[in-house]
A = this chain, B = another copy of it.
């Protein structure tokens, strides 16, 4: 199974067992989440901005307004760090010290490239929408020429990446097992509420199945 080659930046120095370089498992995390935190440097100082993303093969795509400062900055092929985090549970130990989270996170390092070709741009936008909500793209009006022009799409090659994963129960010190304290894991997940119809919805239009039954866990790696 193909693996990312660990680099200085993606090698876990502490807790190396939590490191994961398997490309398929890293992609499973990227495919389950849909919000990333993009870090870049402006005037020698860090900036971290949340945004959505999509993935096609070994490329991660982000997009936004052509007027966005972040996208204009990143389009200059500066170094970027894209981090994706899924929180799976609270790990409640008998001591404060051993409390933890169960989580799956991915860190990607690289330089983004501006997507200029019309075909790749449209494919990336489709991938983005289908990533956030599968089956949506074919239902909606595609971007027209002026919308495409107003949208900047950036491609980040998935070449330097790694995941970090914690699963399982709390790990208490032996002597703490005697304490009269509940310990265990409280699982956490993303849940949906009832879909809210737009007020201007035409009569007779019902909530699509892909909205009613929306869930991310089909992407789950387990």
Contacts and interface: CB of A to CB of B under 8 A. Distances in A.
Nearest to A173: B141
Contacts of A158: none
Contacts of A177: 200, 202
User: What is the total number of copies of this protein in its complex?
Assistant: 2
A121 to B, nearest CB: 12
A96 B126 CA distance: 8
Contact of A99 (B129, B188, B206, B208): B129
Interface residues of A, number: 94
A179 interface: yes
B129 A96 contact: yes
A2 interface: no
A147 interface: yes
Contact of A143 (B38, B95, B181): B95
Interface in A112-171: 125-126, 129, 132-133, 136-137, 139-144, 147, 151, 169-170
6 contacts: A9-B47, A39-B48, A44-B79, A46-B81, A50-B83, A180-B205
Interface of A: 9, 13-14, 35, 37-42, 44-50, 52, 65, 67-69, 79-83, 85, 87, 89-90, 92-97, 99, 101, 103, 105, 107, 109, 125-126, 129, 132-133, 136-137, 139-144, 147, 151, 169-170, 172, 176-202, 205-208, 211, 214
